Amino acid sequence: MIRGVIFDLDGVILSTDDFHYQAWKKLADRLKIPFDREKNNRLRGVSRMASLDIVLEGYTFSEEEKLAFAEEKNNTYRVLLNTLTPEFVNNDVRDTLDELKSRGIKIAIGSSSKNTKLILSRVGLLNAFNAIADGTDIKNSKPDPEVFLIAAQRIGLEPKECIVVEDAFAGIDAAVAGGFVPVAIGDACAHKKAKYRITVLSDLLKIVE
């Protein structure tokens, strides 16, 4: 019996993918390292430092330099986040969240991003969820299930009682590893371990009945 739904944030509730791309691209260009959208797609669902390692593949920098690069990228990204407005979240998403809550389903965010609360605040959804677990809560990023396990604990449910909605392969792997019901949207629909595949968020309402 499904009693909770845990959502990844970026690519599920809204998309700031282009902001990430612009921020990584600016850093890579400054370092004269090739970076394109194909490589950017490999960063989806991956932590900031793991993403940086992908960006810097084939190049050697000290840990101190890498930490500075990660901070530089995040500062650029956060400036771009200031352009977010409630219009970045479509009506299908808002209506689905409202309907799930009306059915007594607990909803939570499980995101590796340390900017989760800032993003939710900018789009007017900071108080829309029963719980939020994000990059500030975890030591291990997806595909480790830690963020989803924390989210489930905060809404008082067992993993088997919760759907996890993800658009990234690493997120589906994390959901499976944690014992959750994995639901794929977007690129993650190609993942063989997804139990359900949805096109829009309101398709969830056919699963949670």
Active centre residues (catalytic): 8, 10
CA distance 135 to 74: 13
> With contact defined as beta carbons under 8 Å apart, do 108 and 131 qualify?
yes
Q: Are strands 106-110 and 162-166 parallel, antiparallel or unpaired?
A: unpaired
In angstroms, how far is CA 192 from the centroid of its own chain?
19
Length of the chain: 209
Token duo for residue 62:
């000290």
Bridge pairing between strands 4-7 and 162-166: parallel
Note if the bond before 143 is cis, omega within 30 degrees. Answer: yes
| Listed residue (164, 150, 140, 136) closest to 50, CA to CA | 140
